[in-house]
Homo-oligomer: A and B are copies of this chain.
Amino acid sequence: MSQLLSLRDRKRAETWAALHLSASGTALDKGLECVTVDAVAADAGVSPRTFFNYFASKEDAVLGLQEPFVDESMLAEFDVDGDLLASVSHLMHAVTRTIHGSADEDGNRCREVICRYPQLMHRRFQYIVKVEQLVTDAVAERLAQSSRWATAPAGNTVDDVAKMLVLVAGASLRFAIQKTTSHPTRESQSEALDQGMELMRNILKELL
């Protein structure tokens, strides 16, 4: 039983990785303008048409983006009555990591590419928005069951609260992303996330 995955799934994963590696590698070695669908497909040993069975766009291949999802295990450490901001922020971070094939080395490679070609950051933020939506739903569900948050302040719904919570917590995630991608060989993203969280707290304590 050496096969946790079927032949099909294994091949699929291989092809995916080959395309992503070729795309990101070519971007770093020869420049983003040399990354064409035809070239990448040829490099990965598949037909150009097949490329689009794996990625919706050229950029997605370079960044190795996958559909984000929220997992049971991520929700496990989510505590409505504890440090909510931190909980939400870490949940977002966890979900964010699902959109990469993201071995750590691959994550660094992607950050380098984004640093060299900031246009790509847009696509990344696009995905953050998707993550926000996913997390917002999950958070709203938890809040609704909480005694403290089941009723929202003023004329707002629980969904509003969840949305806002995610947006605020998202600030520290964006902060971390911007920091780590502007200095690609810097500390890890989760460290930057905590640093951002700390900074946010300091500022907000001063302001409220």
Contact = CB atoms under 8 A, between A and B. Distances in A.
Contact of A174 (B85, B167, B198): B167
Contacts of A39: none
A3 interface: no
Classify the interface of chain A: helix, strand, loop or mixed. Answer: helix
Contacts of A85: 207
B199 A153 contact: yes
Copies of the chain in the assembly: 2
Contacts of A125: 125-126, 129
Contacts of A170: 171
Interface in A41-57: none
Contact of A204 (B156, B202, B204): B204
A196 to B, nearest CB: 7
A161 B202 CA distance: 10
A178 B205 CA distance: 27
Interface residues of A, number: 38
Contacts of A203: 153, 161, 164-165, 168
A160 interface: yes
Interface of A: 84-85, 121-122, 125-126, 129, 148, 153-156, 160-161, 163-165, 167-168, 170-172, 174-175, 178, 195-196, 198-208
11 contacts: A122-B129, A126-B126, A148-B206, A154-B202, A160-B175, A164-B171, A164-B196, A164-B203, A165-B203, A168-B204, A171-B171
